[in-house]
Amino acid sequence: MLDFSVFLAAIRPQNWMALYNSIKASTEKEFELIFVGPYGLPDEMKDLPNVRHIEDWGCPSRCYQIGLLACTAPYVLFVADDGVILNNGAIDTAFRVLESDAVRAVTPHKKNIISFKYYEGEIIPGGFISTVDYWKMNRGLFTELGIPDHFWFVMTPLISREYMIEIGGFDCRFDHLGLGAQDFGIRIQRDGANVMMGEYLIHVTFWPGHMHDHGPIHDSHYEHEEPLFKSIYSDPLCTNRTKIDINNWNDSPEVWTRRFGTEVKGFSHPELLV
């Protein structure tokens, strides 16, 4: 029986085997790994029974939502394909916390969530990223828009699949999870979720600006994501924004032209509608 599903928007198949091996080495739990994106599995992964690929050419948020709906385990975890999971027991520790009587006594079971920390780029022991405040929405755009400064960033959580679907997953009007995950985190914390910070889970790359394949994400952030986030959270009617339609991904373009251009046939995946 599967304990958790890992899902992600994925465009870097050259990294996927390393990600799979890092998950396998880091936990004693049973998992499945679901890649959603335009490129198929590398040959070395095609016979792995707990790995699946779903072809989609949409934006990252749409791909993440499709991945969530395809998960079959009771817990889910979303990650990225430019990094590897740290072999520090973080996942198994998180399960012990979530399944403890002390935690279950405080909050309804499905609303207890472990949000893992991550390293982006060089690991600098004792740097600002090591402080508790780094992981809170207590600065910049969030303060400007009146987001409670005790809310946690929720970027790589271990969370109940049932609850994530109930809350609507990601708002796929956002192209990617830079601010789309923050919107998700705000909504679940407004809904009374008990977000607890876990250990460091994943080490990802740092590509500023247009370095490597980061250009579409960089441009989208400033041209689309920030204006959308501001428009949502500056609206007085947004105060009670929590649950959204889980099938909102179906309103997202089937092809993310910012990355893939206009010559690609898209995919609607009607079997994933709930």
- Give the model's pLDDT for residue 107: 72
- Give the model's pLDDT for residue 124: 67
- Give the model's pLDDT for residue 14: 97
Residues in the chain: 274
- For 251, the 3-state DSSP assignment is helix
Residues 6+ apart with CB under 8 A from 20: 33, 45, 48, 51
- Give the model's pLDDT for residue 103: 85
- Give the model's pLDDT for residue 216: 94
What's the topology of domain 4-268?
Spore Coat Polysaccharide Biosynthesis Protein SpsA; Chain A (3.90.550)
* Domain residue limits, the chain: 4-268
Query: Of the candidates 67, 51, 15, 52, which has an alpha carbon nearest to the alpha carbon of residue 246?
Result: 67
Query: Of the candidates 58, 87, 61, 92, which has an alpha carbon nearest to the alpha carbon of residue 75?
Result: 92
Q: Where are the alpha helices (DSSP H) in the chain?
A: 16-26, 60-70, 90-98, 101-104, 140-144, 161-167, 177-190, 215-220, 226-233, 257-260
Give the C-alpha separation, 142 to 149, whole Å. 8
C-beta of residue 34 within 8 angstroms of C-beta of residue 6: yes
Pick out the chain residues at pLDDT < 70.
Answer: 124-129
Chain centroid to CA 202: 12
φ/ψ of residue 260, rounded to 5: -105, 0
